[in-house]
Amino acid sequence: MGYDACDAPRVAAAVATRQPRPRVWRPRLLAAYDLIASDLAKSGDAVEEIIERVIRHLKLHLGDPISIDDMARSARLSKFHFSRVFRRVTGMSPGRYLSTLRLNEAKRLLVETSLNVTDISHRVGYTSVGTFTTRFTNSVGISPTAFRRFGGFAPGVAVLSRRETAGQQPAMVRGESAVRQAV
């Protein structure tokens, strides 16, 4: 017995009212589930493309204020669904991913430019140099100024990869975050 879209209201009503005839609606419900699961499996690539598009947007607009609501809106998904999908595709939350991108760009700017810490913090999207310094220090283990002084190298500090020092942000890799690979 196959599933037909016109069965959906009847099956939903039977399940919602708990009608005691599972033999009638159970096979249709399972067929509907199989159809939905099949469609979701096919749309996995589309979801990854959506997340990749959001990540490209993040990389281009690191200095702009970007909220999870903004990211979800650009992906045309609800905030909660977007967060789940983003985490599944990249391995981290959207906020953490954005923070990692910003801090990696800050590391690059500290090593490759003579911009002061305040300018760098604003360029990578922080409105407060204090917040930037605190987050940088908590993430990297030393202050931005010390990081610059050591040229990006210090005991216990992750070394910038060649890709990062070339000014390229981590790229999206199917099912796994390049940010995770670079760390």
Chain centre distance of CA 54: 8
Mean pLDDT score, 33-41: 55
In this prediction, residue 164 carries a pLDDT of: 47
Q: Which residue has the higher pLDDT, 13 or 93?
A: 93
| The pLDDT value given to residue 171 | 42
Confirm if 25 and 88 have CB atoms less than 8 A apart. Answer: no
Contact criterion met (CB below 8 Å) for 95 and 84: no
Average pLDDT, the chain: 78
Split at pLDDT 50, 70, 90, the class of 169 is very low
> What pTM value is reported for the model?
0.62
Which token pair is 2? 């196959």
The residue extents of the domains of the chain are 41-182
HSE of 30 in the Cβ direction (CA atoms, 13 Å)?
6
Q: How far apart are CA 121 and CA 101, in angstroms?
A: 13
Greater confidence (164 vs 89) lies with 89
How far CA 146 is from CA of 57, 111, 122, 151, 153, in Å, comes to: 30, 11, 19, 9, 10
Predicted confidence (pLDDT) at residue 82 exceeds the cutoff of 80: yes
Contacts 24+ apart (CB under 8 A), 157-163: 158/183, 160/104, 160/107, 160/108, 160/111
Domain 41-182 of CATH type 1.10.10.60: yes
